[in-house]
Chain A
C-alpha cells in the first residue's frame, strides 16, 4: 500500500520515503501516482508536487522547477533541477 517516492536534485537527495500518493505536474497535465503504477516517463513543468502521506490526509506540496518524473518498478523518481522548500 505504499509507493516509494524519491526526489533528487543535482545537489542532493531531497526525499526518499514511502508515501500513499504523489501528484506530479507533468507537461501534458497533472497525474497522480499510486503504488503499482504502469511505467511512465514524463517531463514536468514548474509547479508543485503534491505528496499524500496516507490516503485521506492533507497533501504536502513541494515546488519544483525543471526536470522529469519516472515511474518504474522501484516506484516514482522525480529528477528536478531546483526544489524550493
Chain B
C-alpha cells in the first residue's frame, strides 16, 4: 500500500497532466475551426480548376502531343509515394494510420514487382517509415519551420516532385494524406497525382465554342503543374484539419481518463487516511485500557 504522501503526490501529478491535456484540447478546438475555414476558403479555386482541367484534358487526352504530366512516361515500374504527416504528435492514432496506409500501398506495389520510393512531408512520418523501409526513403520536405503550411509550401513540394519527374526518377506518384471527415474520423487516402488522372466529370461544352489563348496544349501544359500544386495544397489543408481534429479527440479522452484516475486515487487516499486514523484510535484506546 502506497503511503499517504505518495498518493498525494500522484494525485497532484495527474491533476497537472489533466490541466495540460485540457489546455491542448481547447487550443486544438480553436485551431480546428481555423483550419476548417481555410479548407473552406480553398474550395472555390480547387473546384474551378478541376472543371477547367476536365474540359481541357478531355480534348487533349489520347493525343500523342499531350503533355508528359498527363500522358505519363509510358511505364509504371517506379513509384513515388508522397506521404503527408503532421509535424507534431499528441494527435492520437492519426500519424500511425497514415503510415499504415502508406506501408500497405508500398507492400502492394512491391508485391507486384515495382520499386517504391518515399517522399515524406511532415516530421512524424519519417521514423516509422524508415523503420519499415530503411532504403526506400528518399527526400523529405520539412514543414516544421513554418507555423501553418500554406500555398508557398505546396508550391515548393510540387515543384520538387515535378523536378524529380522531369529528371526521370519515377513514373507514377501517389499522394497519401488523411481526409478530414470529422473530429472523430480521419480517413487516410491514396490518390494518384502523376500522371494526372484524367478527370472523370464529363466535359460540358455549354453550347458556345470556347476560344483558347494560347493553344489548348499550351494552356494545359501550364495548368497541370498548377493542378498538382492545388492538390498538394489541399492535402496540406486536410492534414492540418485532421491533426487538430484528432488532437482534440485524443486530448478529450486523455482529460477524461485523468479525471477517472484522480477519482480512483482520491478514494484510495481517503481510505488509507481513514485506516491510519482508525489504527491510531485503536492504539490510543488500547493504551488507555492497559493503564
Whether B214 is near chain A, meaning CB under 8 Å from some CB there, is yes
List the A residue with the shortest CB-CB distance to B150: A11
Whether B213 is near chain A, meaning CB under 8 Å from some CB there, is yes
Provide the A36-52 mask, 1 if CB < 8 A to any CB of B, else 0.
Answer: 00111111000000000
Whether A17 is near chain B, meaning CB under 8 Å from some CB there, is no
Whether the pair B41, A43 counts as a contact (CB closer than 8 A) is: no
Chain B interfacial positions (CB closer than 8 Å to A): 38, 41-42, 44-46, 48-49, 52, 56, 150-151, 154-155, 206, 208-214, 218-219, 222-223, 226, 229-230, 233
Given known contacts A39-B206, A43-B218, A68-B219, A12 and B52 CB-to-CB distance under 8 angstroms: no
Whether the pair A70, B52 counts as a contact (CB closer than 8 A) is: yes
| Interface-centre pick from B44, B52, B151, B230 (highest chain A CB count, 10 A) | B44
Whether the pair B212, A41 counts as a contact (CB closer than 8 A) is: yes
Q: Is the interface of B mostly helix, strand, loop or mixed?
A: helix
Given known contacts A41-B210, A41-B213, A13 and B219 CB-to-CB distance under 8 angstroms: no
Chain A interfacial positions (CB closer than 8 Å to B): 6, 8-13, 26-28, 38-43, 66-68, 70, 72-73, 77, 79, 81
Whether the pair B211, A11 counts as a contact (CB closer than 8 A) is: no
- Residues of A close to B218: CB separation below 8 A: 43
Whether the pair B219, A43 counts as a contact (CB closer than 8 A) is: yes
List the B residue with the shortest CB-CB distance to A29: B213
A41, B38: Cα distance in complex, Å: 27
Given known contacts A42-B212, A68-B223, A9 and B206 CB-to-CB distance under 8 angstroms: no
List the A residue with the shortest CB-CB distance to B40: A12
Whether the pair A8, B214 counts as a contact (CB closer than 8 A) is: no
Whether the pair A79, B206 counts as a contact (CB closer than 8 A) is: no
- Residues of A close to B49: CB separation below 8 A: 79
Whether the pair B233, A28 counts as a contact (CB closer than 8 A) is: no
Whether the pair B213, A10 counts as a contact (CB closer than 8 A) is: no
Which residue of A10, A11, A28, A72 contacts B206 across the interface (Cβ within 8 Å)?
A72
Which residue of B38, B44, B223, B226 contacts A13 across the interface (Cβ within 8 Å)?
B44
17 A-B pairs with CB atoms under 8 Å apart are A10-B230, A28-B214, A38-B208, A39-B206, A39-B209, A39-B210, A39-B211, A40-B210, A41-B210, A42-B214, A43-B222, A68-B223, A73-B206, A77-B48, A79-B52, A81-B151, A81-B226
List the B residue with the shortest CB-CB distance to A28: B213
Given known contacts A11-B38, A41-B52, A79 and B45 CB-to-CB distance under 8 angstroms: yes
Which residue of B155, B211, B222, B226 contacts A40 across the interface (Cβ within 8 Å)?
B211
- Residues of B close to A41: CB separation below 8 A: 52, 56, 210-213, 219
